[in-house]
Structure 1
Amino acid sequence: MLVVRSDSDGDVLTAGPAVRAAAASARVTLLCGPSGERAARMLPGVAEVSVWDCPWIAADPPPVVESEVGALVAWMRAGRFDAALLLTSFHQSPLPMALLARLAGVRFIAAVSEDYPGSLLDVRLRPGSDVEELVPEPERALAVAEAAGFTLPPGDDGRLRVCGVEEAADLPRPYVVVHPGASAPARAWSPHRCAEAVAALAERGHRVVVTGGPDERALTARVAGAHGIDLGGRTSFPRLAGVLAGADAVVVGNTGPAHLAAAVGTPVVSLFSPVVPAAKWAPYRAEVVLLGDQHAACAGTRAKECPIPGHPCLDGVSVEEVVSVVDELVGVRA
């Protein structure tokens, strides 16, 4: 079985239930993009991971190069896949990948497609009919697997899950996590707000750990200040999962670590910008409190940079409100 889910870590994590459904009766190879590889390697049920930067999916797309496309088709042909599940978001088309899979000899292909697929798909789910437009992303992906005849095994409740978590035994507990960054600035609380929240949480008596990637070290240092433990650039993805798993709560925007927190069962204070719909992208089946104006003027724009001066959808959320919600969530586990 070939499962394709490009985009970033958060997108790949939402494919987890569909992957486990396929893995219940097939050996699963997951084809993902470079920004989703870390999550792909932590999904239960994945036997092999392959990485390809997809020109029609990636946010910063590479050029279409005939030799590279040909190499992907040759790789799929060598894999002798019996079937493929092509998992995409509502704004993406699975048909270019379906064409390549057909050329590689994949006999059975399933996906959600708004456009007429002709002979490219054997199972076509249509947005808004077979798949509800605002169904959560994990359920959208699982619907593709189920339509292709793959179901979750008995006892699997369909939540997000990861394996290979590295326990953060060296961090003194209890603590809460503030993750200030996001790949799209429009989806994150402003840095000065995050810094104020760290100071306020510390004043309330919480130990605060600040996390971020290697390219976010300046951000995490600013946010942690004198009140937080700065782990920016110091955690692998399995280690980040362990840090989140050990936390009483996580304060985070709409970004991959929000889904990772859901996968390890940690309560989430979700500062969610409405540039994409929360109904689809909020942390799935987690103990979550959603903050932010979901009816702001930026709603549904998929903007990377906030188009509204002052970032009102998120910066309208007060530090006091976030601290109060953290207090409510401490001690609660999904």
Structure 2
Amino acid sequence: MLVIRPDNVGDVVMAGPALRSLRRAAPRARLDLLATPAGAAAAALLPEVDGVLTASVSWQKTGGEDVPVTDDLDLVERIGWGGYEAAVILTSFSQAPWPAGNLCRLAGLPVRVGMSKEFGGAGLTHWVPSPPDETHQVDRALHMLERVGVPPVEGRLRVRVPAEAARTARRLLGGGPTGDRRVDGQTDGHEDGHADGHGRRPCALILPGASCSARRYPADRFAQVAGLLTAAGLRVLVAGTAREAPLVEATGAGVPGAVLLPGRFDVPVLAALIDAVDVVVCNNSGGAHLASALGTPVVVLFAGTEQVEQYRPRFGPASILTVPTACSPCRQFACPFAHDCLDIPPEQVAAEALRLTDECGGPWWRTPAGARDAR
């Protein structure tokens, strides 16, 4: 089977329950994922995935890019080489499965499953009408599979942190009690203990990046959040991809003691860092869904580009901060106005991060509803 989800890291993480459902229904099948270069990086966290077909697909291009027809023809050939018997196309409510379905039809796949509001001809052999727009992305995928006869699973996000990624995260964190945790989430019986009993310093991870500028809380405000958390006694790490290095620098450069990690790791190491810290502060991005999967408390600065209910972290302690606006949901890549949906005082963001840190304790003693059953 080929599961098609050519989107970002968070979208692939949220596809996990659907992949788990397919794996349970067809335990001996080869289950491959077609993903973008960004989304493919999350495949290592999903044990159900056997292989990855990486492609920058034409139907996800933005900005009027001219995509050579040969790109689609090459993808048809690559899909055909896979010998797949079925394609399962996962989409958000605003995306159509028909372009992917037609490419798979040309590649000779006899079964093609997808879901949308509109009808698109022969591209799909199994077309499922969409549920309500506000349906969470996890539930949307499971709904589609159930409608074509695949028994559903519970919708909790689960990721597996590779041991090597955990070791790299430990090096980035500088060792210490956080780095001494085993990758399976159990403690090693170290003597550092809880923060209140043995002086362990809680750690916050700030992720200022997102897939587009419309989803990003301003870097100068992230910097104020970082300063407030440091002043409250938290150790602050600021991380991002190589492209997000200016955001990382703008967020943490002026914060005493902040550890800046621009472009120094891959997605599995990011997951390991998220698993190790006490709280994450981020935009509506892959970091929020990784935190949800790992049970790490997270404060999400949620822009008005999307409906909150479609992407809300549901499987760990989370605080969603947003400002309702008349233009939301806008689905814009760049805000044409004053970014009012993210006009959130840094003091409120820091207060929520500190509240979650205090209420949820540290990564070693999270409840079983969090990181301990996430693998």
**TM-score calculated relative to the size of structure 2:** 0.82
- Contact kept, 8 Å, 1:138 with 1:284, in 2: the verdict is no
Query: Quick one: distance in 2 between partners of 1:100 and 1:183?
Result: 26
Shift of 1:192: 0.9
Counterpart in the other structure of 2:208? 180
Shift of 1:251: 0.6
2:312 counterpart of 1:282 = yes
Could you tell me which amino acid in structure 2 is paired with residue 291 of structure 1?
Answer: L
2:261 counterpart of 1:226 = no
Select between 116-125 and 267-276 the one with higher mean Cα deviation. 116-125
2:139 counterpart of 1:139 = yes
Counterpart in the other structure of 1:269? 299
Select between 299-308 and 205-214 the one with higher mean Cα deviation. 299-308
Shift of 1:34: 1.8
Counterpart in the other structure of 1:207? 235
Deviations 1:186-206 (A, max 9, x none): 212111110001011010111
2:349 counterpart of 1:322 = yes
Query: Quick one: distance in 1 between partners of 2:81 and 2:247?
Result: 44
Q: Which runs of 4+ in 1 moved over 4 A?
A: none
Query: Quick one: distance in 2 between partners of 1:99 and 1:278?
Result: 31
Q: 2:223 aligns with which of 195, 203, 212?
A: 195
Say which SS state the counterpart of residue 251 (structure 2) adopts: helix
- Contact kept, 8 Å, 2:208 with 2:222, in 1: the verdict is yes
Deviations 1:51-85 (A, max 9, x none): 11111113467644333322322222232222111
- Contact kept, 8 Å, 2:57 with 2:72, in 1: the verdict is no
Query: Quick one: distance in 1 between partners of 2:212 and 2:348?
Result: 23
- Contact kept, 8 Å, 2:44 with 2:268, in 1: the verdict is no
Percent identical among aligned pairs is 35
CA separation of 1:262/1:304 partners in 2, compared to 1, >3 Å: closer, same or farther?
Answer: same
The unaligned stretches of length 5 or more in structure 1 are: none
Query: Quick one: distance in 2 between partners of 1:207 and 1:268?
Result: 16
Deviations 1:134-174 (A, max 9, x none): 1111111122222232235xxx6322222244223242443
Counterpart in the other structure of 2:38? 35
The unaligned stretches of length 5 or more in structure 2 are: 179-201, 361-365, 371-375
Shift of 1:2: 0.9
Select between 45-54 and 114-123 the one with higher mean Cα deviation. 114-123
Q: 2:269 aligns with which of 239, 248, 255?
A: 239
Counterpart in the other structure of 2:4? 4
Shift of 1:120: 2.6
Could you tell me which amino acid in structure 2 is paired with residue 140 of structure 1?
Answer: R
1:105-124 equivalences under 5 Å are: 105-124=108-127
Deviations 1:181-228 (A, max 9, x none): 112112121111100010110101111111111112222122112331
Query: Quick one: distance in 1 between partners of 2:295 and 2:315?
Result: 9
Query: Quick one: distance in 2 between partners of 1:186 and 1:65?
Result: 28
Q: 1:302 aligns with which of 324, 328, 331?
A: 331
Counterpart in the other structure of 2:156? 159
Q: 1:249 aligns with which of 273, 279, 287?
A: 279
Larger % of helix: which? 2
Counterpart in the other structure of 1:53? 56
Could you tell me which amino acid in structure 2 is paired with residue 50 of structure 1?
Answer: L
Counterpart in the other structure of 1:82? 85
Query: Quick one: distance in 2 between partners of 1:318 and 1:67?
Result: 49
CA separation of 1:216/1:20 partners in 2, compared to 1, >3 Å: closer, same or farther?
Answer: same
Say which SS state the counterpart of residue 274 (structure 1) adopts: coil
Query: Quick one: distance in 1 between partners of 2:4 and 2:77?
Result: 16
Counterpart in the other structure of 2:181? none
Query: Quick one: distance in 2 between partners of 1:281 and 1:99?
Result: 28
- Contact kept, 8 Å, 1:175 with 1:248, in 2: the verdict is yes
- Contact kept, 8 Å, 2:295 with 2:315, in 1: the verdict is no
**TM-score calculated relative to the size of structure 1:** 0.91
Could you tell me which amino acid in structure 2 is paired with residue 12 of structure 1?
Answer: V
